[in-house]
Structure 1
Protein backbone atom coordinates (compact mmCIF):
# COMPACT_ATOMS: atom_id res chain seq x y z
CA UNK A 1 0.00 0.00 0.00
CA UNK A 2 1.39 3.38 -0.95
CA UNK A 3 0.03 5.26 2.07
CA UNK A 4 1.14 4.39 5.57
CA UNK A 5 -1.44 2.90 7.91
CA UNK A 6 -3.65 5.49 9.57
CA UNK A 7 -6.97 5.92 11.32
CA UNK A 8 -9.03 8.94 10.32
CA UNK A 9 -9.95 9.57 13.98
CA UNK A 10 -6.25 9.88 14.82
CA UNK A 11 -5.61 12.20 11.87
CA UNK A 12 -8.20 14.58 13.29
CA UNK A 13 -6.87 14.27 16.85
CA UNK A 14 -3.23 14.69 15.79
CA UNK A 15 -3.83 17.80 13.66
CA UNK A 16 -6.17 20.15 15.57
CA UNK A 17 -4.34 23.15 14.07
CA UNK A 18 -5.39 22.22 10.54
CA UNK A 19 -8.78 22.97 9.05
CA UNK A 20 -9.60 19.38 8.19
CA UNK A 21 -13.03 18.66 6.70
CA UNK A 22 -15.06 15.57 7.58
CA UNK A 23 -17.68 14.12 5.23
CA UNK A 24 -21.06 14.24 6.98
CA UNK A 25 -22.69 10.84 7.50
CA UNK A 26 -26.29 10.01 6.60
CA UNK A 27 -28.95 9.00 9.09
CA UNK A 28 -27.75 5.38 9.00
CA UNK A 29 -24.34 6.52 10.25
CA UNK A 30 -22.35 6.51 7.00
CA UNK A 31 -22.51 8.19 3.65
CA UNK A 32 -20.31 5.61 1.93
CA UNK A 33 -20.02 1.85 2.03
CA UNK A 34 -16.65 0.19 1.56
CA UNK A 35 -16.44 -2.22 -1.39
CA UNK A 36 -12.72 -2.67 -2.08
CA UNK A 37 -10.22 -4.98 -0.39
CA UNK A 38 -8.21 -1.97 0.78
CA UNK A 39 -10.13 -0.66 3.79
CA UNK A 40 -7.81 2.25 4.56
CA UNK A 41 -6.68 4.48 1.71
CA UNK A 42 -5.77 8.03 0.92
CA UNK A 43 -3.90 10.28 -1.42
CA UNK A 44 -4.02 13.31 -3.64
CA UNK A 45 -7.47 14.04 -5.03
CA UNK A 46 -8.37 13.98 -8.70
CA UNK A 47 -12.00 15.01 -9.30
CA UNK A 48 -14.50 14.09 -11.98
CA UNK A 49 -18.14 15.07 -12.25
CA UNK A 50 -20.36 12.85 -14.36
CA UNK A 51 -23.98 11.78 -14.28
CA UNK A 52 -24.80 8.24 -15.38
CA UNK A 53 -21.81 8.26 -17.76
CA UNK A 54 -18.57 6.65 -16.63
CA UNK A 55 -16.48 7.60 -19.68
CA UNK A 56 -14.19 9.97 -17.77
CA UNK A 57 -13.92 7.53 -14.83
CA UNK A 58 -12.67 4.82 -17.19
CA UNK A 59 -10.26 7.23 -18.93
CA UNK A 60 -8.77 8.59 -15.70
CA UNK A 61 -8.33 5.20 -14.02
CA UNK A 62 -6.42 4.03 -17.11
CA UNK A 63 -3.72 6.67 -16.38
CA UNK A 64 -0.98 6.66 -13.75
CA UNK A 65 -2.64 7.14 -10.37
CA UNK A 66 0.35 6.67 -8.09
CA UNK A 67 -0.46 8.32 -4.76
CA UNK A 68 -3.92 9.43 -5.93
CA UNK A 69 -7.60 8.91 -5.16
CA UNK A 70 -10.28 9.55 -7.78
CA UNK A 71 -13.31 11.34 -6.34
CA UNK A 72 -16.39 11.00 -8.53
CA UNK A 73 -19.52 13.12 -8.23
CA UNK A 74 -22.15 10.96 -9.87
CA UNK A 75 -25.00 13.12 -8.61
CA UNK A 76 -25.98 10.36 -6.14
CA UNK A 77 -27.70 8.51 -8.98
CA UNK A 78 -29.08 5.14 -7.95
CA UNK A 79 -29.92 4.12 -11.53
CA UNK A 80 -26.56 2.83 -12.76
CA UNK A 81 -23.01 2.01 -11.67
CA UNK A 82 -20.07 4.28 -12.47
CA UNK A 83 -17.45 1.59 -11.85
CA UNK A 84 -17.29 -2.19 -12.06
CA UNK A 85 -14.61 -4.84 -11.90
CA UNK A 86 -12.94 -4.14 -15.25
CA UNK A 87 -12.45 -0.42 -14.59
CA UNK A 88 -11.36 -1.18 -11.02
CA UNK A 89 -8.80 -3.69 -12.33
CA UNK A 90 -7.44 -0.92 -14.56
CA UNK A 91 -7.16 1.33 -11.48
CA UNK A 92 -5.15 -1.33 -9.63
CA UNK A 93 -2.90 -1.86 -12.68
CA UNK A 94 -2.28 1.90 -12.81
CA UNK A 95 -1.49 2.20 -9.08
CA UNK A 96 -4.50 4.24 -7.87
CA UNK A 97 -4.93 4.13 -4.09
CA UNK A 98 -8.69 4.38 -4.21
CA UNK A 99 -11.93 5.67 -5.65
CA UNK A 100 -14.73 7.50 -3.83
CA UNK A 101 -17.99 7.54 -5.79
CA UNK A 102 -21.01 9.67 -4.94
CA UNK A 103 -23.07 7.13 -6.81
CA UNK A 104 -23.08 3.36 -7.37
CA UNK A 105 -20.68 0.54 -8.22
CA UNK A 106 -21.26 -2.99 -9.52
CA UNK A 107 -19.43 -6.34 -9.50
CA UNK A 108 -19.04 -5.98 -5.74
CA UNK A 109 -17.72 -9.50 -5.11
CA UNK A 110 -14.88 -8.86 -7.57
CA UNK A 111 -14.23 -5.38 -6.11
CA UNK A 112 -13.85 -6.96 -2.66
CA UNK A 113 -10.90 -8.98 -4.00
CA UNK A 114 -9.01 -6.06 -5.56
CA UNK A 115 -6.24 -4.14 -3.74
CA UNK A 116 -8.07 -0.85 -4.14
CA UNK A 117 -9.99 1.38 -1.76
CA UNK A 118 -13.55 1.77 -3.01
CA UNK A 119 -16.22 3.82 -1.26
CA UNK A 120 -19.61 4.31 -2.90
CA UNK A 121 -23.19 4.98 -1.89
CA UNK A 122 -24.58 1.63 -3.05
CA UNK A 123 -24.35 -1.21 -5.55
CA UNK A 124 -26.53 -1.83 -8.59
CA UNK A 125 -26.04 -4.29 -11.48
CA UNK A 126 -26.96 -1.78 -14.22
CA UNK A 127 -23.98 -0.35 -16.13
CA UNK A 128 -23.81 3.31 -17.12
CA UNK A 129 -24.02 4.87 -20.55
CA UNK A 130 -20.86 6.03 -22.26
CA UNK A 131 -21.30 9.28 -24.14
CA UNK A 132 -17.95 10.89 -23.31
CA UNK A 133 -19.58 13.38 -20.94
CA UNK A 134 -17.93 14.56 -17.72
CA UNK A 135 -15.82 17.32 -16.22
CA UNK A 136 -12.38 16.73 -14.70
CA UNK A 137 -10.50 18.73 -12.03
CA UNK A 138 -13.44 20.87 -10.92
CA UNK A 139 -14.50 21.44 -7.29
CA UNK A 140 -17.09 18.88 -6.13
CA UNK A 141 -19.49 19.43 -3.24
CA UNK A 142 -21.23 16.57 -1.45
CA UNK A 143 -21.32 15.17 2.06
CA UNK A 144 -21.01 18.70 3.43
CA UNK A 145 -17.48 19.21 2.08
CA UNK A 146 -15.73 20.48 -1.04
CA UNK A 147 -13.35 18.11 -2.82
CA UNK A 148 -10.63 19.88 -4.86
CA UNK A 149 -8.12 18.29 -7.18
CA UNK A 150 -4.62 18.55 -5.71
CA UNK A 151 -5.79 18.40 -2.08
CA UNK A 152 -5.78 15.18 -0.04
CA UNK A 153 -8.40 12.68 1.12
CA UNK A 154 -8.13 9.91 3.71
CA UNK A 155 -10.77 7.20 4.10
CA UNK A 156 -11.35 4.23 6.36
CA UNK A 157 -14.32 2.54 8.02
CA UNK A 158 -14.71 5.53 10.37
CA UNK A 159 -15.30 7.98 7.54
CA UNK A 160 -13.65 10.37 5.11
CA UNK A 161 -11.36 13.30 6.01
CA UNK A 162 -10.08 16.02 3.66
CA UNK A 163 -6.92 18.08 4.05
CA UNK A 164 -5.20 20.79 2.05
CA UNK A 165 -1.91 19.21 3.12
CA UNK A 166 -0.47 15.71 2.85
CA UNK A 167 -0.81 14.06 6.28
CA UNK A 168 0.39 10.51 5.60
CA UNK A 169 3.32 9.25 3.51
Structure 2
Protein backbone atom coordinates (compact mmCIF):
# COMPACT_ATOMS: atom_id res chain seq x y z
CA UNK A 1 0.00 0.00 0.00
CA UNK A 2 1.09 3.53 -0.69
CA UNK A 3 2.54 5.25 2.35
CA UNK A 4 0.70 8.43 3.29
CA UNK A 5 2.74 11.27 4.78
CA UNK A 6 0.70 14.44 4.57
CA UNK A 7 3.65 16.86 5.00
CA UNK A 8 5.31 15.25 1.96
CA UNK A 9 2.04 15.49 0.02
CA UNK A 10 1.75 19.20 0.91
CA UNK A 11 5.32 19.77 -0.30
CA UNK A 12 4.66 17.98 -3.60
CA UNK A 13 1.14 19.36 -4.11
CA UNK A 14 0.90 22.85 -2.53
CA UNK A 15 -2.59 23.30 -4.01
CA UNK A 16 -4.21 20.66 -1.75
CA UNK A 17 -6.69 21.92 0.81
CA UNK A 18 -5.67 21.37 4.44
CA UNK A 19 -8.24 20.97 7.23
CA UNK A 20 -7.94 23.07 10.35
CA UNK A 21 -6.06 21.06 13.00
CA UNK A 22 -9.08 20.09 15.09
CA UNK A 23 -9.19 16.32 14.60
CA UNK A 24 -7.94 13.42 16.72
CA UNK A 25 -6.88 10.09 15.23
CA UNK A 26 -8.89 7.22 16.79
CA UNK A 27 -8.66 4.37 14.27
CA UNK A 28 -6.38 1.37 14.02
CA UNK A 29 -5.08 2.74 10.70
CA UNK A 30 -3.27 5.98 11.50
CA UNK A 31 -2.79 6.89 7.81
CA UNK A 32 -5.50 6.40 5.20
CA UNK A 33 -6.77 7.78 1.91
CA UNK A 34 -9.44 7.28 -0.68
CA UNK A 35 -12.20 8.88 -2.72
CA UNK A 36 -14.69 10.98 -0.77
CA UNK A 37 -18.23 9.80 -0.01
CA UNK A 38 -20.28 12.16 2.15
CA UNK A 39 -23.02 12.16 4.77
CA UNK A 40 -24.55 15.32 6.24
CA UNK A 41 -26.48 14.78 9.46
CA UNK A 42 -26.92 16.19 12.96
CA UNK A 43 -27.09 14.05 16.10
CA UNK A 44 -28.68 11.26 14.02
CA UNK A 45 -26.35 8.60 12.63
CA UNK A 46 -28.95 6.68 10.59
CA UNK A 47 -27.26 7.55 7.29
CA UNK A 48 -23.80 6.76 8.69
CA UNK A 49 -25.13 3.31 9.61
CA UNK A 50 -26.64 2.94 6.12
CA UNK A 51 -23.40 3.97 4.39
CA UNK A 52 -21.03 1.67 6.31
CA UNK A 53 -23.34 -1.27 5.60
CA UNK A 54 -22.59 -0.85 1.88
CA UNK A 55 -19.35 -1.76 0.07
CA UNK A 56 -16.80 0.99 0.69
CA UNK A 57 -14.43 0.03 -2.15
CA UNK A 58 -11.57 1.88 -0.44
CA UNK A 59 -13.49 5.14 -0.02
CA UNK A 60 -13.39 7.53 2.95
CA UNK A 61 -16.73 8.43 4.52
CA UNK A 62 -16.68 12.16 5.29
CA UNK A 63 -19.42 12.96 7.81
CA UNK A 64 -20.55 16.52 8.47
CA UNK A 65 -22.22 15.96 11.83
CA UNK A 66 -22.44 19.69 12.43
CA UNK A 67 -19.52 19.64 14.85
CA UNK A 68 -21.80 18.39 17.62
CA UNK A 69 -20.08 17.34 20.82
CA UNK A 70 -23.31 16.17 22.47
CA UNK A 71 -23.30 12.56 21.24
CA UNK A 72 -21.25 10.00 19.30
CA UNK A 73 -21.99 9.39 15.64
CA UNK A 74 -19.75 6.31 15.25
CA UNK A 75 -18.93 3.51 17.65
CA UNK A 76 -17.30 0.09 17.63
CA UNK A 77 -20.07 -1.79 15.81
CA UNK A 78 -20.35 0.64 12.90
CA UNK A 79 -16.56 0.98 12.66
CA UNK A 80 -16.13 -2.80 12.52
CA UNK A 81 -18.83 -2.99 9.86
CA UNK A 82 -17.10 -0.25 7.83
CA UNK A 83 -13.76 -2.05 8.05
CA UNK A 84 -15.37 -5.34 7.03
CA UNK A 85 -17.06 -3.70 4.05
CA UNK A 86 -13.86 -2.21 2.64
CA UNK A 87 -14.01 1.43 3.75
CA UNK A 88 -10.58 3.03 4.10
CA UNK A 89 -11.67 5.47 6.78
CA UNK A 90 -14.14 7.84 8.37
CA UNK A 91 -13.65 11.54 8.98
CA UNK A 92 -16.22 12.62 11.54
CA UNK A 93 -16.96 16.30 12.12
CA UNK A 94 -18.47 15.19 15.40
CA UNK A 95 -17.70 12.61 18.07
CA UNK A 96 -17.06 8.88 18.28
CA UNK A 97 -17.24 6.40 21.15
CA UNK A 98 -15.79 3.01 22.14
CA UNK A 99 -12.38 4.53 21.47
CA UNK A 100 -10.34 1.64 22.89
CA UNK A 101 -11.96 -0.73 20.39
CA UNK A 102 -11.73 1.83 17.55
CA UNK A 103 -7.95 1.93 18.10
CA UNK A 104 -7.83 -1.81 17.33
CA UNK A 105 -10.14 -1.64 14.30
CA UNK A 106 -8.59 -1.86 10.82
CA UNK A 107 -10.02 1.49 9.78
CA UNK A 108 -8.80 5.07 9.67
CA UNK A 109 -10.94 7.24 11.95
CA UNK A 110 -10.52 10.93 12.72
CA UNK A 111 -13.03 12.86 14.80
CA UNK A 112 -13.37 15.93 17.00
CA UNK A 113 -13.51 13.96 20.24
CA UNK A 114 -15.02 11.11 22.19
CA UNK A 115 -18.49 11.06 23.77
CA UNK A 116 -20.17 8.10 25.50
CA UNK A 117 -23.78 8.94 24.49
CA UNK A 118 -25.20 7.38 21.30
CA UNK A 119 -26.97 9.46 18.69
CA UNK A 120 -30.65 9.50 17.77
CA UNK A 121 -32.01 7.34 14.94
CA UNK A 122 -34.62 9.39 13.07
CA UNK A 123 -33.55 8.62 9.49
CA UNK A 124 -32.61 12.26 8.88
CA UNK A 125 -29.76 13.66 6.81
CA UNK A 126 -28.36 13.65 3.28
CA UNK A 127 -25.87 11.52 1.38
CA UNK A 128 -23.46 12.28 -1.44
CA UNK A 129 -23.79 16.07 -1.12
CA UNK A 130 -21.02 18.66 -0.84
CA UNK A 131 -20.13 19.46 2.79
CA UNK A 132 -17.85 22.03 4.37
CA UNK A 133 -16.10 22.10 7.75
CA UNK A 134 -12.66 22.71 9.25
CA UNK A 135 -12.02 25.36 6.58
CA UNK A 136 -12.33 22.89 3.69
CA UNK A 137 -15.01 21.93 1.14
CA UNK A 138 -15.52 18.22 0.50
CA UNK A 139 -17.39 16.80 -2.49
CA UNK A 140 -18.00 13.25 -3.65
CA UNK A 141 -15.29 12.30 -6.12
CA UNK A 142 -12.52 14.30 -4.48
CA UNK A 143 -9.75 12.43 -2.66
CA UNK A 144 -8.85 12.72 1.01
CA UNK A 145 -5.48 11.89 2.59
CA UNK A 146 -5.13 11.68 6.38
CA UNK A 147 -2.50 10.83 8.97
CA UNK A 148 -1.36 12.03 12.40
CA UNK A 149 -0.21 15.32 10.82
CA UNK A 150 -3.57 16.29 9.40
CA UNK A 151 -6.23 15.86 6.73
CA UNK A 152 -5.81 16.95 3.09
CA UNK A 153 -8.34 17.18 0.26
CA UNK A 154 -7.40 17.00 -3.43
CA UNK A 155 -9.62 17.43 -6.48
CA UNK A 156 -8.50 14.03 -7.81
CA UNK A 157 -6.24 11.13 -6.89
CA UNK A 158 -2.64 12.23 -6.43
CA UNK A 159 0.37 10.36 -7.81
CA UNK A 160 2.38 9.34 -4.74
CA UNK A 161 5.65 7.43 -4.56
Contact 2:19 2:152 in 1 (8 A): yes
> Matches of 1:168 and 1:74 in 2, distance apart?
30
> Matches of 2:88 and 2:26 in 1, distance apart?
13
> Matches of 1:152 and 1:57 in 2, distance apart?
19
DSSP 3-state at the match of 2:100: helix
Are 1:76 and 2:80 counterparts?
A: no
> Matches of 1:15 and 1:97 in 2, distance apart?
22
5+ residue gaps in structure 1?
26-30
> Matches of 2:114 and 2:4 in 1, distance apart?
26
Q: CA deviation at 1:53?
A: 0.3
CA offset digits 1:33-53 (Å, max 9, x no partner) = 010110000100001100000
Q: Which of 140, 155, 158 lines up with 1:164 in the alignment?
A: 155
**Counterpart in the other structure of 1:7:** 5
RMSD of equivalent CA atoms: 1.1
The runs of 4+ residues in structure 1 deviating greater than 6 Å are none
Are 1:24 and 2:15 counterparts?
A: no
CA offset digits 1:111-161 (Å, max 9, x no partner) = 010010000000011000001001011111111110101100000000001
Q: CA deviation at 1:21?
A: 0.4
> Matches of 2:108 and 2:159 in 1, distance apart?
16
Aligned residues: 160
In the superposition, the TM-score normalised over structure 2's length comes to 0.96
DSSP 3-state at the match of 1:101: strand
Contact 1:80 1:128 in 2 (8 A): yes
Q: CA deviation at 1:14?
A: 1.4
5+ residue gaps in structure 2?
none
In the superposition, the TM-score normalised over structure 1's length comes to 0.92
Residues 4 and 133 of structure 1: is their aligned pair in 2 closer, same or farther, counting only changes over 3 Å? same
Contact 1:4 1:168 in 2 (8 A): no
> Matches of 1:107 and 1:168 in 2, distance apart?
35
